[in-house]
A = this chain, B = another copy of it.
Amino acid sequence: MGNFIEQLSSKQLIEVERQLFLYTQGVQEIIPTEDLKNKIAKSVLLNRPLKIKLGLDPSAPDVHLGHTVVLNKLRQFQENGHIIQLIIGDFTGKIGDPTGKSIARKQLTDEEVKRNARTYFEQFGKVLDMEKIELHYNSKWLSLLNFEDVINMAGKITVARLLERDDFEERLAFGKPISLHEFFYPLMQGYDSVVLESDIELGGTDQHFNILMGRHFQEKFGKEKQVAMLMPLLEGLDGVEKMSKSKKNYIGIDESPQEMYGKAMSIPDELMNKYFELATDLTTEEIKKIKEELDTGIFHPRDAKMLLGKTIVRMYHGAEAAKQAEEHFISVFQQGSIPDEIPIVEWHGESQASVIDLLIQLNLQNSKSEARRMIENNGVRINGEKVRDIQLRVPVTNDLIVQVGKRKFVKIKM
């Protein structure tokens, strides 16, 4: 690739700088930034869109805010006229794990792959304009490769280079088996970039090795090398671990407005800025202002977090749903003066219980007569709503909040 920056008019250069600034916001690592700038320059100069690649695992189609870090970045590219290439890694999915050891890598049928892809598509539609998306299934080209092609591909990479991947290096060092076929997953991902001639590949920082493989293979196959853009990994609600389905610390983008809002309110204060930056569509200026007002104390953390919750709900459910979720939260938690810290009680009873049994089993009342009296006096609320029927049967669910009088609260954990 020649140097396109040198050929730009000053007006074009301003446009290149504008895009470069936008795309580099919130990114953890760009390899290398010069190439990114030059690719943008080429695109501006030739009025030709860049191809921005994102690979997807077809076995785990539940999309949560952790995924949207990358999707939000893709949207920026899309809004500037670039082409988004979504690759469903169905070839890998259809093979499964030949050693049979990994349950996660079980073999998927064509139908499962298609269904999972549809699920992705529906969810991604909340962030991206799916009509402008290029969707690819990598089985289209990978299933056509024969043994000779594979040997030629394998001839373009050394064993030592593959063993540099952290997990491989560690497993080899500790005598944990690496099955040879595992070496091919990064190779396939790299080869996808060769076939699609991607300009940029996005991923989390955990994709560092695999995305650079694409750059390596493009060079070996005589193509222009892609730029690796690595996004930070978003910690989940626990504030520690990477957001993931298995850790149950996620906000799914298909969750209801109330769930979403409530979960957003449980994010640790120190992660708020990161969530604003990586998980919302607010502009750099808006985020900067929030940060300053928080620092100077103009903005109360609680209010900032409510803005975060409202923004996230608005992104996936619209402005009206966001407003309602906020109102619901205020009516239940704030007007009722629910304290920040509610004692959590594990529930080992039936999945349905009469309200009286519930109060006794949770040790909120000592006797049935006492409980009955409290309900009759309008002193019992479940999820903020007054209980008016003494016979009420309550479906017991996770995070159900039971309140007696003004100060006694319990949150149920199943």
Interface residues of chain A, those whose CB is within 8 Å of chain B, are 91, 94-95, 97-99, 142-152, 154-160, 162-163, 168, 172, 175, 177-181, 183-184, 187
Q: Are the C-beta atoms of A159 and B172 separated by less than 8 Å?
A: yes
Give, as a whole number of angstroms, the nearest-CB distance from A202 to chain B.
Answer: 25
Contact of A158 among B148, B158, B179, B187 (CB under 8 A): B179
Note all chain B residues with C-beta closer than 8 A to A156. Answer: 98-99, 179
Contact of A97 among B98, B155, B177, B184 (CB under 8 A): B155
Contact status of A180 and B181, CB under 8 A, knowing A97-B155, A172-B159: no
Distance of A97 Cα from B151 Cα, bound (Å) = 9
The 5 A-B pairs of least Cβ separation, nearest first, read A98-B155, A154-B181, A154-B180, A155-B181, A145-B147
Prevailing SS type, chain A contact patch: helix
Contact of A180 among B145, B159, B178 (CB under 8 A): B159
Note all chain B residues with C-beta closer than 8 A to A162. Answer: 180
Note all chain B residues with C-beta closer than 8 A to A144. Answer: 146
Q: Are the C-beta atoms of B150 and A179 separated by less than 8 Å?
A: no
Note all chain B residues with C-beta closer than 8 A to A98. Answer: 151-152, 154-156
Q: Which of A145, A149, A158, A172 has most B Cβ within 10 Å?
A: A158
CB nearest to A185 among chain B residues: B151
CB nearest to A188 among chain B residues: B147
Distance of A160 Cα from B159 Cα, bound (Å) = 11
Contact status of A184 and B154, CB under 8 A, knowing A143-B146, A143-B147, A146-B146: yes
Give, as a whole number of angstroms, the nearest-CB distance from A105 to chain B.
Answer: 10
Q: A97-B155, A160-B175, A163-B172 are in contact. List 6 more A-B contacts (CB 8 A).
A: A91-B148, A95-B152, A143-B146, A147-B149, A159-B159, A159-B183
Note all chain B residues with C-beta closer than 8 A to A157. Answer: 179-180
CB nearest to A141 among chain B residues: B147
Q: Are the C-beta atoms of A147 and B150 separated by less than 8 Å?
A: yes
Distance of A159 Cα from B144 Cα, bound (Å) = 25
Contact of A178 among B94, B145, B152, B159 (CB under 8 A): B159
Q: List 7 A-B contacts (CB under 8 A).
A: A98-B151, A98-B156, A143-B146, A157-B180, A160-B177, A163-B172, A180-B187
CB nearest to A142 among chain B residues: B147
Contact status of A154 and B175, CB under 8 A, knowing A145-B147, A146-B143: no
Distance of A39 Cα from B179 Cα, bound (Å) = 31
Contact status of A158 and B178, CB under 8 A, knowing A98-B152, A151-B98: yes
Distance of A174 Cα from B382 Cα, bound (Å) = 68
Distance of A43 Cα from B146 Cα, bound (Å) = 37
Distance of A175 Cα from B159 Cα, bound (Å) = 11
Note all chain B residues with C-beta closer than 8 A to A147. Answer: 91, 142-143, 145-146, 149-150
Give, as a whole number of angstroms, the nearest-CB distance from A157 to chain B.
Answer: 5
Note all chain B residues with C-beta closer than 8 A to A94. Answer: 148
Contact of A154 among B155, B159, B168, B179 (CB under 8 A): B179
Distance of A183 Cα from B144 Cα, bound (Å) = 22
Give, as a whole number of angstroms, the nearest-CB distance from A163 to chain B.
Answer: 8
Q: Are the C-beta atoms of A155 and B143 separated by less than 8 Å?
A: no
Distance of A144 Cα from B148 Cα, bound (Å) = 10
Q: Are the C-beta atoms of B159 and A99 separated by less than 8 Å?
A: no
Note all chain B residues with C-beta closer than 8 A to A155. Answer: 97-99, 179-181
Note all chain B residues with C-beta closer than 8 A to A154. Answer: 98, 179-181, 183-184
CB nearest to A101 among chain B residues: B155
Distance of A147 Cα from B159 Cα, bound (Å) = 19
Distance of A187 Cα from B183 Cα, bound (Å) = 15
Q: Are the C-beta atoms of B146 and A145 separated by less than 8 Å?
A: yes
Q: Which of A142, A147, A162 has most B Cβ within 10 Å?
A: A147
Distance of A154 Cα from B154 Cα, bound (Å) = 12
CB nearest to A178 among chain B residues: B159
Note all chain B residues with C-beta closer than 8 A to A152. Answer: 95, 98, 181
